[in-house]
Structure 1
Amino acid sequence: MVSHPEYAVTAELDVMVETRDGVELATDIYRPADPDTGEPIDEPKPVLLDRTPYGKRGRMERHGEWYAKRGYVVAIQDCRGRFNSGGDYYIFINEPEDGYDTVEWLADQPYCDGQVGTFGTSYGAWVQNALATQDPPHLEAMFVNQGAANGRKATFRHNGTFELRWLCWAFTLGGGFAQRALEDSDIQQRLANVDVRDVLANGPAQPGQSPLRHIPDYEEWAFDIMTQGAASDELWQEPGMNFEAYYDESADVPTVYSGAWYDSYTKATCDNFEALAERKDSDHFLLMGPWTHGWNSYPLPSWNKSYSGELEFGEQALRDYQETRLRFFDHYLKGKDTWDDQPTVQYFQMGTGDGEQTREGRLFHGGEWRSGEEWPLPDTEFTTYYIHEDGRLTTDEPTAEDAATSYEFDPRDPVPTIGGNCSSYITYEPREENILEYPLSERKLQDLTGRGGFDQRTREDTFGAEPPYGPLEERNDVLVYRTPPLEEDVEIAGPIRVRVYGSTDAPDTDFTAKLIDEHPPSEEFPNGAAINLCDSICRGRYRGYRDEPDLLEDGEVYEFEMEPYPTANVFKEGHRIRLDISSSNYPRYDVNNNTGGPLYGDREYRTATNTVHHNAEYATQIELPIQSR
C-alpha cells in the first residue's frame, strides 16, 4: 500500500545551501509534522529533491506539501542565478556540482535518514542527470521525466542544426525571470514587450542588438549554443550538457526514465534508458506515453491529458503522475511492495482507434498500454522501406540505374512546422498594460508551432505560412513517398532511422525527414489526414554525425543519416505509411542559408537545388521497427 497523507506539514523557506565555491542556493524545506501539534516529527525520513529555474513557490509549494504529508522531506531549490539563489546563471553549466553539493548537504541534516531521491521534469530532469554524473554517495533513486542526454546531438542542437526553442526560451521563461529582470521592472518590461514571432521573422538575432543585450549573461549562453556546433567546442563536453559522455561514471541507482512520443526529449529519454540499463546494476525503467511536453501544466506535465495536438487517445492514456512517482519512491526509499509489478518497459501503442471525430473535433487515434523487458523491444523486426521515382514507398529495393528527384530550396520560404516533438516555441501574449499592472508571471504563453499530432496542412495560425493554406505535400520543396493502402495493420515501436542519399549545388544545406500516418478519407475527414509521428534533420556539414564541420562539394552524393524520434504506432489497414523529405522544418529547426557561412547569424541567402537519389546505388530509405502480434 502506498504512503497515505497522515502528516501535517511545516515549511522552512529560503534555507541557504552553500556550495563548494561559496555560492548559496535558496532552498525551501517541507517536513512532515505532527497533525496535533504542527511540530516537525523527530523521525528522520527520506528526502526528495527538486531543483528548478522557474521559482520554487506557488504550485511548487503544493508539490512539496503533497509528499511531505506522505512521509517525505521535500527540498525545492532555485537553481544558481535564478530567483533567490546566488551566483551567475549560465544554462546547465553549474548544475552537476550544485546538485551534488545539495544532495550531500541534505543527507547530512538530522531530518534525513541518509537517503536522497530526486525528481523533476524538463529542466528539472536535466539537473538530475547532471548531478548523477558526479555520483553523490547519498543519492538513492531518481525519477527523471522528459530530460536530455547529449545537448549537441538532440536537444540544444540536432544533427548539426539549432533547435530554435532555446532562443524562444531565452526571451520568455529564461530572460523574463532572470534576476536582473526581476530586480529592474524596466528590463522585464522590455522583455515582456518582445513578440518572439517578430524576432524569428526578422532573421537571425545579433549580439548586442536584441533585447537580450539587457541581460548580458543570458545573451552570452544563448549565442554560444547557437554558434558553436563542433564537438571539440568545450561547451559540448561539459557534464551539464552531455550526460552521454559520462554514462560510465554516473550514479548506479534505481531510475525511471519517463517521457512521451510527442515530447521534445523523446530520443534522449530512450537513449538514457537503453544505455544506462545496460551499464548499471540497479533497476532501470522506461515509461513512454502518448503525450507532449508539459511546460504549461503542473504537477502533471501532460499525463492528465488524453490528447496530443489534434489526436485523441482516450481515457486509457491517462496516468496519475504523482501516484506513479510515489509508488516508485515508496518501493526504493521505504521498502514497500509498491513497484514490484512495474514492467521494465511500459509504453503506449498509439493508433488502435477508429479515426472518428470526437466532440472536440479531434481525430480519435486511440491506443493501448504495452510492456516489454528491454528497449528496443527484443522481437523487433527492423524493416527497410525504400523510396521510388514514382512516389512509392515499399520494401522492394530500387533497381533503376539513375533515378533522382530535384527541388529548389529557398531558405527565405522554409517549410512551416506543424506540431511534432516541440516545446518552448512560445511568446507572451501581447499586452498594453505595463509589468506592474499585469505581471509577467500572470501572462499567458502563446504556442508558435503546436505540439503533438496534426494534420500536415497549413492554416491561418500556422507560423510562417501564407495563403492559400493547404497540405504541405503540395509544396514544390516537399517530396512525398507513400505505401499503397495497407492490406493489414502494421505496428511499429522503437527507434527509426532514415538515410537520404542527397546532393546539392550549395556548399551546405539541410535534408529533413518526417514519418506520417496517412489516414484515408472518411465522412468526417473527407480529405483524410496526414498525421505526423516523428521527424529529424541533418545539416550537411555535420553529416554522418561528424564532430567537425566539412562543407559539401557541388553535385557529389552524400549519405544524410537521421534518427527521427522513437515512436509506437499502428498503421491500420487502409492507411498508408508515408515519408516526407525536404530541407527545412521551421521554426522547429533553424534554417540553413545554403551559403556555408556561420552556423547562426548569416545574413546572406542562397537558393539551393537539392537532389534526392533513389536508385540501385543510392537507395534513400527509412528503417521501421516492426512488431508482430
Structure 2
Amino acid sequence: MSTRTPLGLPVATEELRARFDAEVAPPDPAAPIQLEVGIQVRDGVELAADVYLPAAAQLPAPAVVFATPYDKSTPILNALEAQLYQENGYVAVVYDVRGRGKSEGEWRAFVNDAHDGHDVVEWVADQPWCDGAVGVSGLSYGGWATWATASQRPPHLRAIVSTSPAGRWMQEIPATNGCFQLYFAYWVAAVRRRLLGLGALDLDQLVNTLPVDDIKRLIDPTGRTWDDLMEHDTLDDHWQALRWDGRYDQIDLPVLHVTGWHDHEDLLGAFHHYEQMVDQSPAADRQWLLVGPWSHVMCRWPGSEYGGVSYAAEAAVDMHAVHLRFFDRFLRGERNGLDDEPRVRLFDAGADRWAAPAAWRAATTERRLFLGGDGSLADDAAAAGPATARDYRYDPLDPVTTAFDLGAAVWEPPVDMAPTEGRDDVLCFTSAPLERPLTVHGWPRLALRATTDGDDTDWHVKLTDCPPDGRSLRVAGGCLRASHGASLERPQPVPPGEAVDYDVELTPIHHTFAAGHRIRLTITSSDFPWFARNLNRFGPIAHQDDPRTARNSIHCGAGGSVLSLPISERIER
C-alpha cells in the first residue's frame, strides 16, 4: 500500500523521482544525445528536425541529413536509420518536410523540397556539432529530396546516397507516359494529414471510383498535392520545373544510386540520374550503381525473396554497411578501397548471381524479335509471317488486374504474370526455347504498330521469362497512353481506325534468360489497380466517368511490331 498525505493523496515513490532526476540531469559526455530542433528556412518557415548526436568526445562530426513526409520520429522509416549513423560516430538529422509532421508551412508534395533542402544542409553545416561535411540520403520521397537538394548546390554538401528517387516526372511518376498511377491515390490518402495513416478508408472503393477526381472527396486531403496531380496531367511547366534535365553538369558530387528490379513505384529514376551524372557531371567517375532483386522498400532493407521467388542468399545485402562505407569515404575522407571497386553491380535474377559489368549499357548489341500473327516472337521478319493484325476488346469495367493486397502497408505486385495471360484481352508473343543463355542488358523498346477504334486507349507491355514449369516471370514492363505517343506535353487524339506507330520504352534490365527458357511479350490495355483505367476517351481522366469498350489491334508480321533487346555479348558468350 502506498504512503498517503493527511488529505489522502498518494506520495510519489523514490523510483518516480529518480526517473525525473535522470531526465533533467546534465548529459553524460560518453552517451549519445537526441534533440528536437526547429530549422528556419529562407522564407521564415520553421521545419522540425530530430538531431542524433554521438558522444560528445566524437564531436564535431560529419552529418547525414534525411528529409521525410512520413513523420521524422517513425522508427522503421527514420529513427532506426538515424540511430545507426549515430552509433557510428555521425550526426544524423531527420526533418519533416514542409507542412508534414511538426513542420510549418503548406504541404504541397515535391514543390518546396529543393530550396528547403539547401537551407537545411547549410544550417546543419553551421552548427558547432558538425565538422562542415554533410551528406544527404533517402529512400523514395527522401531519394527525390536528395536530388532536389543537390540541384541547389549547397556549398557544404559532399555526397549523396539516393535510393529509388523520382527523376523524369511524367515519364515515370505520377503518370508513366500518360498512364496515371492509381498508386498515387493510395499515397495521397496515406499522407492526407500531417501524420502517416490511412484511417478507415475503403481502398477497394477508392481504386474503383470514377471519375478519378472523386477520390479527393473520399480521402479529403490537406494542401494541394491531389489537385496538382489532377490539374497537371501533362508534362507542363509544373513538372518541368522539378526535372534537372541538362543541369547535371552543375552537380559535382559522388553518388551511390540504389534501386531494385521489382521496384514498381520508381525503378526508372535511379537509372536516369545515374546515366545523366555519368554523361554530364564532373564527378562522372564517382558514380556507383547498385541494383538488386528488391521491391521499393526492400531497396533499403534488402532480402533474398520477392513475390514468391527466392534468390541466392547474397541478394540480401547489408545496405547499412554499404551506405556507411560510402559516407566514410566521402564525408570522412577514409581510403577504404571503395574507389577500386566496381562502379556497377547488378543482380542477374535469371542467373541468380551478382554481375559487375564494366559500365551500364557497355558492350551491347541489338537483337530484334518480330511479333508474329501466330503469337510467335521470331528472329527475322520472314519468320514472323505476312502482315496481319491481332484484335482484342478492352472493357474498362473488366480490366486486366494484377492481384495484390490493397490493404498491405506497401503495395507489391507479384512476379508471375501467368494468371492473367489466359485472358482474351491479353495478347502473348512467345519465342521458341532458347538454345543457349541470353543476357539482356539495357533498355528494351517496343516499336508498336497498333490501331484503336476510338480516339484514345492505353498500351501496357510486359517482358517475361518463361521457364519450362509454366510460370511467366516479369522482368520488365512499360506503358503508354496512345494520345501521348507523340508528345507528353501536348497530347493529341488518336485517329480512330488508323494504324499508328508508337515507341514504348520498357524498364531497364540486366537479366539472363537460361537455355530452354522462352522470352514472352504481352500486350494489353490495362494494368489495374496500379494504373487508372483508360476509359477509351481522349482528354484528362480527372472528370471522365463514361467508359466505352474499345476494339484494339496489334499489327504483326511484315511491317508490324518489333521488340528490340539490348544484348550483352560478353556475358552471353
| TM superposition score normalised by structure 2 | 0.89
Three-state SS of the structure 1 residue aligned to 2:356 is strand
CA contact under 8 A between 1:613 and 1:620: conserved in structure 2? Answer: no
Aligned to 1:461: none
Amino acid at match of 2:340: D
Three-state SS of the structure 2 residue aligned to 1:334 is coil
1:334 Cα deviation (Å)? 1.2
Aligned to 1:287: 290
Structure 2 segments unaligned to the other structure (5+ residues): 1-28
Matching of residues 455-534 of structure 1 within 5 Å = 455-457=417-419, 472-521=420-469, 528-534=470-476
Three-state SS of the structure 1 residue aligned to 2:170 is coil
Match of 1:84 among 97, 102, 123: 102
CA contact under 8 A between 1:8 and 1:69: conserved in structure 2? Answer: no
1:382 Cα deviation (Å)? 2.0
Match of 1:230 among 227, 234, 240: 234
CA contact under 8 A between 1:504 and 1:609: conserved in structure 2? Answer: yes
Aligned to 1:413: 398
Larger Rg: 2
Three-state SS of the structure 1 residue aligned to 2:486 is helix
1:372 Cα deviation (Å)? 2.3
CA contact under 8 A between 2:213 and 2:230: conserved in structure 1? Answer: no
**CA distance 1:93–1:52, change in 2 (3 Å):** same
Aligned to 1:192: 199
Distance in structure 2 (CA, Å) of the matches to 1:78 and 1:456: 42
Q: Does residue 327 of the first structure (1) align with residue 325 of the second (2)?
A: yes
Aligned to 1:63: 81
CA contact under 8 A between 2:58 and 2:89: conserved in structure 1? Answer: no
Q: Does residue 14 of the first structure (1) align with residue 36 of the second (2)?
A: yes
CA contact under 8 A between 1:98 and 1:131: conserved in structure 2? Answer: yes
Aligned to 2:356: 371
CA contact under 8 A between 1:383 and 1:625: conserved in structure 2? Answer: yes
Three-state SS of the structure 2 residue aligned to 1:513 is strand
**CA distance 1:626–1:410, change in 2 (3 Å):** farther
**CA distance 1:208–1:547, change in 2 (3 Å):** closer
1:165-222 CA deviation, whole Å, 9 max, x = no partner? 11111112x12xx23x78xxxxx7xx51112111112333445862333x341xx321
Three-state SS of the structure 1 residue aligned to 2:288 is strand
1:540 Cα deviation (Å)? 0.9
- When structure 1 is superposed on structure 2, of 534-543 and 336-345 the one drifting more is 336-345
Aligned to 1:434: none
Distance in structure 1 (CA, Å) of the matches to 2:169 and 2:280: 21
1:498 Cα deviation (Å)? 1.3
Amino acid at match of 1:350: A
Aligned to 1:210: 217
Distance in structure 2 (CA, Å) of the matches to 1:206 and 1:317: 40
CA contact under 8 A between 2:82 and 2:92: conserved in structure 1? Answer: yes
Distance in structure 2 (CA, Å) of the matches to 1:42 and 1:380: 49
Distance in structure 2 (CA, Å) of the matches to 1:326 and 1:226: 40
Amino acid at match of 1:92: F
Distance in structure 1 (CA, Å) of the matches to 2:537 and 2:87: 59
CA contact under 8 A between 2:372 and 2:429: conserved in structure 1? Answer: yes
Aligned to 2:9: none
Distance in structure 1 (CA, Å) of the matches to 2:360 and 2:129: 39
1:47 Cα deviation (Å)? 0.9
1:69 Cα deviation (Å)? 2.2
Structure 1 segments unaligned to the other structure (5+ residues): 1-6, 34-39, 183-187, 353-366, 420-424, 428-444, 458-471, 522-527
Match of 1:535 among 468, 477, 485: 477
CA contact under 8 A between 1:511 and 1:584: conserved in structure 2? Answer: yes
Matching of residues 344-493 of structure 1 within 5 Å = 344-352=343-351, 367-376=352-361, 378-398=362-382, 400=385, 402-418=387-403, 426-427=406-407, 445=408, 450-457=412-419, 472-493=420-441
| TM superposition score normalised by structure 1 | 0.81
Distance in structure 1 (CA, Å) of the matches to 2:478 and 2:550: 20
1:31 Cα deviation (Å)? 1.4
Distance in structure 2 (CA, Å) of the matches to 1:561 and 1:199: 32
**CA distance 1:456–1:545, change in 2 (3 Å):** farther
Distance in structure 2 (CA, Å) of the matches to 1:248 and 1:417: 40
- What is the CA RMSD across the aligned residues, in angstroms? 2.1
